[in-house]
Amino acid sequence: MDVLPRQSADAVDNMSADWLLLENYPQPDRIRFRPFAWSEPAFTFGVSQSWAKYRAQVPAEYSLVRRCTGGGLVSHLNDWTFALVIPPRHPLSQADAMASYALVHQALAEALKAQGLPVALVAAPSGSREFLAPDDCSQRAELNDLIRTDTGKKVAGAAQKRNRHGLLIEGYVWQPFLPECNWLRFEKDFTQALGRSLGSSPVAVPEPIYNQFDHEGSWAKFASQEWNQRI
């Protein structure tokens, strides 16, 4: 598993980098993991959601960018974020979406429990459950999301994009609900746990160099009105 250096960027650059990680990575048969941060406050929202609805909710001074993955509105004002790409030949790439969520969040749970934090995956509900739109993802824990067992608060969630290049998982951990966490230790422990779960030892690699045309095209996509306001 290739582990890219942790970088800080704005919303357009981060969403562009995740797309490049899926579509144009120089070693496409490798699992790749990209931890990243936000150089300015931002919100992102799922590929099939309404721009107008979320633009009305998000303060005008904050960037709002459509992800290529699903889900609803996610605040990046104080979270720890990552992107993971599983290549097509890996069994998890073709597994049920709930299986991939479970594997990633089990690794997250293992890393947090190593620091004594009380977390667990959300179990399947008994009986039927009313469908609700995704909206603010941080406020509603779904199956295989990660919660604190002492407060019931959702601490981690993720969204996916699957195509012929593999499976992209974009995930976040909400830091305010984990004030006791040592984040430097967490990053190391999570990377190791993820590598064990995927059967691929983590290897630190430099930032990939992409074709300039691909790099500029990806950035332009996520910066464009046509992409962000298309629904």
Strands (E), 46-165: 63-66, 74-75, 79-86, 119-121, 146-148, 154-163
What's the pLDDT at 37? 97
Nearest to 177 by CA among 154, 207, 205: 154
223, β-bridge pairs: none
Let me know: does 66 contact 47? Beta carbons within 8 Å: yes
**What CA–CA distance (Å, rounded) separates 101 from 169?**
8
What's the pLDDT at 157? 95
Assess whether pLDDT exceeds 50 at residue 68.
yes
Least-confidence region, from 32-41, 136-145, 169-178: 136-145
**What CA–CA distance (Å, rounded) separates 31 from 202?**
9
Q: What is the DSSP string of 110-144?
A: HHHHTTT--EEEPPPPSS-------SBGGG---TT
What's the pLDDT at 144? 84
pLDDT tens digits, one per residue of 118-132: 999 998 654 444 434
Instruction: Read off the pLDDT band of 94 (50, 70, 90).
Output: confident
What's the pLDDT at 135? 53
What's the pLDDT at 133? 47
pTM of this structure:
0.93
Average pLDDT, the chain: 93
Which residues, 6+ apart, have CB-to-CB distance to 8 below 8 Å? 36, 37, 38, 39
What's the pLDDT at 136? 52
Domain spans, the chain = 2-228
Assess whether pLDDT exceeds 80 at residue 139.
no
Name the token pair of 205.
Answer: 């690699």
Nearest to 3 by CA among 202, 179, 216, 220: 202
pLDDT tens digits, one per residue of 181-227: 999 999 999 999 999 999 999 999 999 999 999 999 999 999 999 99
Question: 2-228, superfamily in CATH?
Answer: Bira Bifunctional Protein; Domain 2 (3.30.930.10)
Assess whether pLDDT exceeds 80 at residue 23.
yes
Gyration radius of the chain's alpha carbons: 17
Nearest to 7 by CA among 37, 42, 44, 33: 37
Which residues, 6+ apart, have CB-to-CB distance to 33 below 8 Å? 1, 2, 3, 4, 82, 83, 84, 191, 194, 202
